[in-house]
Structure 1
Amino acid sequence: MTRDLGQPEPGALDRLRRELARGTAELAVLSVLDTGRRYGYELLKLLQGTADGVLEVKEGTLYPLLHRLEDGGHITAEWEAAGRVRPRKYYAITPDGRDRLAMLRKEWNSVVDGMRALLEALDGSGR
């Protein structure tokens, strides 16, 4: 039995999207926080609702990442109750986080530019 090489195996695109989301989650979170502080659930919904569904960020991915970024000094976290029954934990980027974001953006752009150049070269090779 042969498989049509033009079609990905079932679930392959889903796996690829999950891997890309995991690999780019830090860049995405720091990019959002660079626009202003957010509480966890707000950040989760914003990440899930943008990027045409490519970033499949789940709570089980986001909150451990936020803790790692906080432990690394890239973000700060502050509880705020302000008239609410349940307090919210707000996250904000730090100067070290902005430096890390700049490095991640540069690396991301290098990867994208490299892949674009590769694909364009292959497209031009008569394939």
Structure 2
Amino acid sequence: MPWLLTLHIAALLCWCGTLLYLPGLMLSQTPGKPKSLSQWVYTAIATPAALASIILGTLVFSVHNMLDKWLIAKLFMVTLLVLLHLLLGWLIARHKRNALSHARRWCYTITLLLGVAITAIIALVLAKPVFGV
């Protein structure tokens, strides 16, 4: 089912793209606004893309009945991505209430960690034949 894998990759690209975009968007907005664009992007784009990516990814490895070492490592990195997603939601909520100190430092750190996690996921997927059992 190549269409399932294609949908998974498309959802993952959308999710990762919005996660990388959100810290900069959050910093460019005035804190304390009742409804911010960063909150809308988080709830309307990033979260549905995350759910679609996780559900489709689960279907991909369930349909193909694969459980290799590289997949376990990839799932660990996806878990890190989910935790960073939740941390971004928390930061957006704090920024909205104007209760976030050191916002720039938080955003730089999250962006760095997102870059590491996304790069690791791509490296694990591309190295799949090496790790395959």
Pick the structure with greater CA Rg.
1
| TM-score range relative to shorter protein | 0.3 to 0.5
Which structure dedicates a bigger proportion of its chain to helix?
A: 2
Which structure dedicates a bigger proportion of its chain to strand?
A: 1
TM-score, structure 2 as length reference: 0.40
